Chains A and B, each alone.
Chain A
Amino acid sequence: MKDFILAIVAAGLAVFIYVDSRTFAAPQGGLAKDPALYPQMLALILALLAVALAVNVIRGKRLNEKIVLDRQALFNVGRLVVILCLYVFAIVYVGFPVSTVLFIYVGVVALGGSRLTAAKLCLPVALALYVVFFVLFQMPMPVGKLWEGL
């Protein structure tokens, strides 16, 4: 069933690419200058592969295979993605140092580490990252909108 869904998604994507490519403004100059040519070729290949995959699933009688969803696993992954997104927002507003200290603490706890270990580690790890990236490798550091006026 998973493969059949993939085939449908791939076929849908192929159609979208083909149709969207037709809106590209093509200057004069034949095939070589046509910006839609290459994506349309790829869309056709993708559509062919999608059909082949669907046929394989049907021929192999794999259409009724069930998709087993592990809700707890999905929750864990989703939570981590949300924490990451919050970390990115925090970097924008409060800058790298503060947000990284918070992120290390929350990340370690979310991944199953103890709160005490997380509390002990968050500052040294953030400091080490700061030294490696921004002192040693001299990358520009996001300061954070909150502190920009100060």
Chain B
Amino acid sequence: MSFEFYTAGWQLFTLPVLAYMLLGTVIGIIIGALPGLTAMMAVSVLVPLTYTLSPTAGIIMLLGVYCGANYGGSISATLVNIPGTPSAVMTTMDGYPLGQKGKAGLAIGTATVASGLGGIFSVVTMAMFAPLIANIALKFTSLEIFAIALFGVTIMGYISPGSVLKGLISGVFGLLIGCIGFDPTTAVPRFTFGEQNLLSGVQFVAAMIGLFGLAEILLASEKIKDLQTRPELFKMQNPLECLKYLRTLWGNLLRSSVIGVIVGAVPGTGGTIAAIVGYAVQKKVSKNPEGMGKGAVEGIAAPEAANNACCGGALTTLLSLGIPGDAVTAILIGAFVLHGLTPGPMLFESNPDLVSAIFIGMFLIQMLIIALGLNFAQYFAKLLLVPRPILNTIILALCVVGTYGVQNSIFDIGTMIVFAVLGYVMAKASIPRAPIVLALILGPVMEENLRRWLSLAEGHVLESLAGAFTTNPIAMAILAITALTLVLPLFQKSGRLNEGMAEHIVGGKK
């Protein structure tokens, strides 16, 4: 990619776009700092708000929410021992003990700088690799695109916390929901049951607000007494003290950032896994592993750098292949679609200014996180004292109004409520919800490309498939891996992965 490509994004330096970037980052940090409110919820609720903004302003604002929330989780993890977002779960291990020692400022400062630097590293790798991958992906045929989309849904189901089988069932269920409406090739209505509003399919934004926004509030409303408790906060002093430790943390930050980017680029993973891997690796290589878990600065830097670096990794596959790296980027696709854009290799050809603006914007967001975190973290923390009944009611109203705003449809609000109840039931049954969202997005892509390939095969499906081993080796390799992923759980004894994490993520935050 040329220098002109990278500088095309300077259009983002307009007052409204910068203001929305700041607003998004602040909202993200606040949402992230509040336990029970996730980045997924924030992004899904705010997607409709961006409808009237320019694509650049809207997407940059949502990226601010995404990155800000990933960082914001560390504030409550440190100050009240509750991870604000699941990805801050490892930060509680050392953040809170350091706060107990009267060094909450140092803990927050370390988390802020590590998050920002991890994020900057990921933005640089994203700017380097996304155009390269997109360039390769431009040569992909319908079989490769189908294979990648299928792999994305399968791996999301496979890696989701809890039972692999339930993750895969959730993914297939999402693909089936994606079939509702007119058939893309023949315009035959499918599974609409005579309902006119379903002819154009299930409204994606309404579905994701229901699954991740409203469903979280329903889960929180189970125990009304818990909503009335107010946490006690540590006092924060001198977060800049962390700069003294920075010299000793470079290796840790670099290693954890690389881990974050790699984990983020694998579809279906996300910040929580990145933070866990980052922390575990740091404990292995640490000169003082016994100190970790007792308030070690390196124990805060590793997961925070890893979970924020994850954002760039997840966005790399989203922008270059159209395959989201995690659930939040899956929801972000909704924002692209809302603005008439399709993430993937063609975006680099059709909207280089927007892609470039995303690279530059992501970099600025990381700088904002550092600036806001070091200066205002104590004020963000005060929001933990806002009574939850008020906050949750406002979010409910936002969900309703936001859903209505997408296409001025009361039917969409009904869709949102149905998906919220579905999301609630799924959470209670420990069925991961993220695969549904990804499948809803990738389902039509999969079907369209499968049928295009079948059309090209002209009735000689088996011969074409055999020939694809030589003509489309990448697609066949991806399909083989996907088939293996699908078949493996059938032979596993329990079909379960990482129960503890499942409790934590699927069952809502404690």
The chain A residues found within 8 Å of chain B, CB to CB, are 2-3, 6, 10, 13, 17, 20-21, 24-27, 30-33, 35, 37-39, 42-43, 45-46, 48-50, 52-53, 56, 59-60, 70, 73, 76-77, 80-81, 84-85, 87-88, 91-92, 96, 100, 103-104, 107-113, 117, 121, 125-126, 129, 132-133, 137-140, 142
| Stretch from B173-181, B279-287, B304-312 at the A interface | B173-181
Residue of A2, A21, A31, A48 ringed by the most chain B CB atoms within 10 A: A31
B51: Cβ under 8 A from any A Cβ: yes
Cα-based distance from A24 to B486 in the complex (angstroms): 28
B463: Cβ under 8 A from any A Cβ: no
A76 with B168: CB separation less than 8 A: no
B169 contact from A2, A30, A50, A70, Cβ within 8 A:
A50
27 contacts between A and B (CB under 8 A): A2-B430, A13-B176, A21-B190, A24-B183, A27-B186, A27-B188, A30-B455, A31-B459, A33-B451, A35-B188, A43-B176, A49-B172, A50-B169, A52-B490, A73-B222, A73-B223, A76-B224, A77-B221, A81-B420, A84-B400, A88-B413, A96-B401, A104-B393, A111-B227, A133-B49, A139-B51, A140-B408
A108 with B390: CB separation less than 8 A: yes
- Given A42-B175, A100-B401, A140-B408, 15 more pairs with CB closer than 8 A: A24-B190, A26-B186, A35-B183, A37-B454, A38-B179, A38-B447, A39-B176, A49-B165, A49-B169, A53-B166, A84-B214, A104-B394, A125-B394, A133-B49, A137-B405
Expressed in whole angstroms, the minimum distance between the Cβ of B400 and any Cβ of chain A is: 6
Expressed in whole angstroms, the minimum distance between the Cβ of B350 and any Cβ of chain A is: 26
- Chain B residues near A24 (CB, 8 Å)? 183, 188, 190
Cα-based distance from A85 to B400 in the complex (angstroms): 10
Expressed in whole angstroms, the minimum distance between the Cβ of B62 and any Cβ of chain A is: 14
Of all chain A residues, the one with the shortest Cβ separation from B454 is A32
Of all chain A residues, the one with the shortest Cβ separation from B450 is A38
A60 with B494: CB separation less than 8 A: yes
What number of B residues sit within 8 Å (CB to CB) of A? 73
B411-429 interface code vs A (CB 8 A; 1 in, 0 out): 0011001001100100001
B387: Cβ under 8 A from any A Cβ: yes
Of all chain B residues, the one with the shortest Cβ separation from A128 is B394
A35 with B185: CB separation less than 8 A: yes
Q: Given the interface contacts A80-B221, A84-B400, A111-B221, does A42 sit within 8 Å of B176 by beta carbon?
A: yes
B447-460 interface code vs A (CB 8 A; 1 in, 0 out): 10011101101110
Q: Would you list which residues of chain B between 148 and 167 have a CB under 8 Å from chain A? A: 163, 165-166
B222 contact from A13, A39, A70, Cβ within 8 A:
A70
Cα-based distance from A98 to B151 in the complex (angstroms): 48
B371: Cβ under 8 A from any A Cβ: no
A81 with B417: CB separation less than 8 A: yes
B102: Cβ under 8 A from any A Cβ: no
- Chain B residues near A104 (CB, 8 Å)? 393-394, 397
B393 with A107: CB separation less than 8 A: yes
Expressed in whole angstroms, the minimum distance between the Cβ of A118 and any Cβ of chain B is: 8
Q: Would you list which residues of chain B between 69 and 128 have a CB under 8 Å from chain A? A: none
Cα-based distance from A30 to B464 in the complex (angstroms): 15
- Chain B residues near A25 (CB, 8 Å)? 188
A77 with B218: CB separation less than 8 A: yes
- Chain B residues near A32 (CB, 8 Å)? 185, 451-452, 454-455, 457
Cα-based distance from A110 to B53 in the complex (angstroms): 34
Expressed in whole angstroms, the minimum distance between the Cβ of A137 and any Cβ of chain B is: 5
B410 with A92: CB separation less than 8 A: yes
Expressed in whole angstroms, the minimum distance between the Cβ of A72 and any Cβ of chain B is: 8
- Chain B residues near A77 (CB, 8 Å)? 218, 221-222, 424
B493 with A59: CB separation less than 8 A: yes
B451 with A38: CB separation less than 8 A: yes
Cα-based distance from A67 to B183 in the complex (angstroms): 39
B52 contact from A21, A80, A139, Cβ within 8 A:
A139
Expressed in whole angstroms, the minimum distance between the Cβ of A99 and any Cβ of chain B is: 9
Expressed in whole angstroms, the minimum distance between the Cβ of B114 and any Cβ of chain A is: 33
